[in-house]
Chain A
Amino acid sequence: MGNSSSMLTQYDIEEVQEYCQNLFSQQEIVSLYQRFCQLDRNAKGFISADEFLSVPEFAMNPLSQRLLKMVDGLNFKDFVAFLSAFSAKASVQQKVKLIFKFYDSDGNGKVSFNDMLEVLRDLSGSFISDVQREQVLTQLLKEAGYSKDSYLTFDDFNKIFGISELKMEVEVPVD
């Protein structure tokens, strides 16, 4: 991809489809490309943080800053790969993987107490005190069999989310 014209060839579409493990249909990939070009205003081949934030609905989201670290500067293939976790065809494991990557901001394969605390802070803002947040998190970790000093791996996340149903689906509009 990376060409300045807004046209995808059949080869391009199939390449992207393979890259995202067939989680999107070809029509959806075309729609996502139109959206990508719309957000990437000067056709640089990636969407900058500023361009993401120009979508008010995204800017209002409490997790937008942390999410920006994951999506800032992605090219189209990686953009689709990121969104593939939200496809209706994605498995629970794939969704948990995205959530794990979201928490593990430094990418070392381990989620620390601080990582979880940071996300909680983004989600609850000034409406829960820092002390109370730590208390709640420590308590729930203990109940689940972990401690404050535990580092959670992807397997741990799978165990934690194991039985619960994750509703994490986004519909790609296809005109």
Chain B
Amino acid sequence: MSSGKGGELIPSSSELDLDRPNIEDYLPSGSSIHEPVGKLRLCNLLDISPTLTEAAGAIVDDSFTRCFKSNPPEPWNWNVYLFPLWWCGVVIRYLILFPVRVIVLTVGWIIFLSCFIPVHLLLKEHDKLQKNMERALVELICSFFVASWTGVINYHGPRPSMRPKQVFVANHTSTIDFIILEQMSSFAVIMQKHPGWVGLLQSTILESVGCIWFNRSEAKDRETVTKKLREHSQGVDNNPLLIFPEGTCVNNQYSVMFKKGAFELGCTICPIAIKYNKIFVDAFWNSRKQSFTMHLLQLMTSWAVVCDVWYLEPQNLRPDETPIEFAERVRDIISVRAGLKKVPWDGYLKYSRPSSKHRERKQQSFAESVLRRLEEK
């Protein structure tokens, strides 16, 4: 979702270019803070302990992996009387709630399809009416989805209005973020194209609300997507755009760096913060561990999905701000509201290695220190 500089074919690791806020400011640099002084001796040259320590520190714990750790609620069924209680809970959830939810969802789909298909095929001339009806229907099916997880959603703040040159951004925990937000007001979202039945849904129904697709693995894709984003945001009649600038699902305790694409469109940015209550279910979709179907099934066999959604004050690019600074400022607003810890990593590092610029920076500082101390006699 971020624009490269012109049509570069370099994969997403080039995101970590010199434009980004300096990661070194965030990372613990330990002993490298203490600049060594004095004449260079053999033991100084051979002393790799600072660099080794950093590597070992990364092996033991690192802030990037922490962002994608699923934290399921602690098991509490370890007792003679707690276990049967928990067992009752399981029976209720799987044998009573789950079938009811499946029925609710099926009914919802039947109603939706029986209205959507005629509207889509027959109302081709009455553009505006068709659009409004399709929007209402998508909101309806999203409500059915939310009902199928017994979603208890607290919306705070004024409902988004449909105005041009307005883009909504939110933190991302799972694809259901979109469903939860779409239930309240119609958005056009930008999403990764998924395979399977989700992809089918994307290309048929979500097209009608004006969604935009991108493919993470295609490098040139970014340029076309940015163009589409720009066109869409200028259009008066289009649904407001919803963008998840993190670019990937994070576990709702941390937030990774926001991609600047959404912040360069020349639009007002309306931040939305979403926080799930972990006691009921861990809504983080760990796409490395589960497919989306399994994720939905997990939600449908839990007690409830409880979350808070805050619509925050719209922000504009300040005259002295770069888009990256703007993105960080909005990330700050959202992280504070949703109680997320900020980490200085690009979410796409889930899929690719960091660029060599960081290693080179470390090598440069080591080289400079050695050469400087050589001068001292």
Contact = CB atoms under 8 A, between A and B. Distances in A.
Given A123-B51, A136-B370, A55 B363 contact: no
A43 interface: no
B52 A52 contact: no
Name the interface size band of chain B: 35 or more
Contacts of A137: 45
Contacts of B41: 140, 143-144
A71 B59 contact: yes
A67 interface: yes
A127 B353 contact: no
A108 to B, nearest CB: 18
B60 A57 contact: no
A109 interface: no
B368 A99 contact: no
A60 B359 contact: yes
Contact of B64 (A52, A55, A157, A168): A55
Nearest to A95: B49
Given A61-B51, A83-B56, A124-B363, A140 B65 contact: no
A58 B58 contact: yes
Interface string B338-370: 000000010001000110001110111011101
Q: Of A32, A124, A160, A173, which is in contact with the most chain B CB atoms at under 10 Å from its CB?
A: A124
Contacts of A63: 48, 51-52, 55
Contacts of B31: 167
A94 B61 CA distance: 22
A46 interface: no
Interface in A36-66: 38-39, 41, 52-64
B53 to A, nearest CB: 5
Contacts of B57: 57, 170
Nearest to B349: A56
A119 B48 contact: yes
Interface string B33-56: 000000011110111111111111
B54 A57 contact: yes
A128 interface: yes
B289 to A, nearest CB: 9
A8 interface: no
Interface in A139-172: 140-141, 143-144, 146, 157, 160-161, 164, 166-172
B46 A99 contact: yes
B120 interface: no
B58 A57 contact: yes
Interface in A95-113: 95, 98-99, 102-103
B371 interface: yes
Interface string B167-202: 000000000000000000000000000000000000
Nearest to B55: A61
Interface in B12-47: 27, 30-31, 40-43, 45-47
B362 to A, nearest CB: 6
Interface string A74-109: 000000000100100000000100110011000000
Contact of B42 (A32, A99, A140): A140
B65 A55 contact: yes
B59 A127 contact: no
Contacts of B360: 125-127
A53 B350 CA distance: 11
Which 10 pairs of residues, A with B, have the shortest CB-CB distance?
A: A125-B363, A127-B367, A57-B58, A58-B58, A144-B42, A124-B367, A60-B358, A168-B49, A61-B55, A140-B42
15 contacts: A52-B59, A54-B65, A55-B64, A58-B58, A60-B362, A61-B54, A98-B52, A99-B49, A116-B46, A124-B363, A126-B363, A128-B371, A160-B46, A171-B60, A173-B61
Interface of A: 32, 35, 38-39, 41, 52-64, 67, 71, 83, 86, 95, 98-99, 102-103, 116, 119-120, 123-128, 136-137, 140-141, 143-144, 146, 157, 160-161, 164, 166-173
